[in-house]
Amino acid sequence: MKAALRAVFRARRAAATAEEREAAEAAAIVWLKEFLSTHEEVGVVATYFSVGVEFPTGRIIDECRALGRGVALPRWDSAASRYRWALCEKGAPTRLGPMRIPEPDADAPAVDAAEIGLYLVPGLAFDGEGGRLGYGGGHFDRLLAEAREGAVIRGLCLPCQRSATPLPCEKHDIPAPPIP
């Protein structure tokens, strides 16, 4: 069932127009500014480098930095065979990870999940109850499982990635309501 849903939402996302992407990105930035203006305690925002037709995160990363927040991005830890958070400062070198996704360079400082107050996560689909359909590798689920109590988790998605019906979720899935 999840495989079929992934195919449907991948196709929807790929068919989204540039205007739809820009409007969703602008709305997410408005939400981010409002959220951070009322949550001064959030010193680090965790997100991802977008690739291809994923929800664009470049301006979101820039906005977090402009608002004085640190930005943590996933970086592959080959010794542990999993992703961990690393600080990504403006202009710092990046590398392509094992999945051909940009990530902070090996010299970037690690970020403990206890330091992260807001997570902006990817997915193929999100429902109104916080259900998130990821890519199937479980990488973000493992990262989100380490989130400190009180951290806010939100999904970044285009309108076409919102499911009108509940998505199939398992016990280990962490709710990630989409940003309105």
What is the pTM (predicted TM-score) of this model? Answer: 0.96
How far from each other are the two terminal CA atoms of the chain, in whole angstroms? Answer: 26
Q: What kind and span of H or E run contains 86?
A: strand 82-87
CA distance 62 to 16: 23
Q: Provide the residue ranges of all domains of the chain, joining segments of one domain with +.
A: 2-163
CA distance 141 to 169: 11
On the question of pLDDT at 3 being above 90, the answer is yes
Q: Name residues whose C-beta falls within 8 Å of residue 110's C-beta, 6 or more positions apart in sequence.
A: 84, 85, 86, 87
On the question of pLDDT at 101 being above 80, the answer is yes
User: How sure is the predictor about 61, in pLDDT bands with cuts at 50, 70 and 90?
Assistant: very high
- Count how many Cα atoms sit within 13 Å of the Cα of residue 118 in the half-sphere of its side chain: 26
CATH code for the structural domain at 2-163? 3.40.50.10420
On the question of pLDDT at 170 being above 90, the answer is no
On the question of pLDDT at 115 being above 90, the answer is yes
- The answer to which of 2-6, 56-60, 167-171 has the lowest mean pLDDT is 167-171
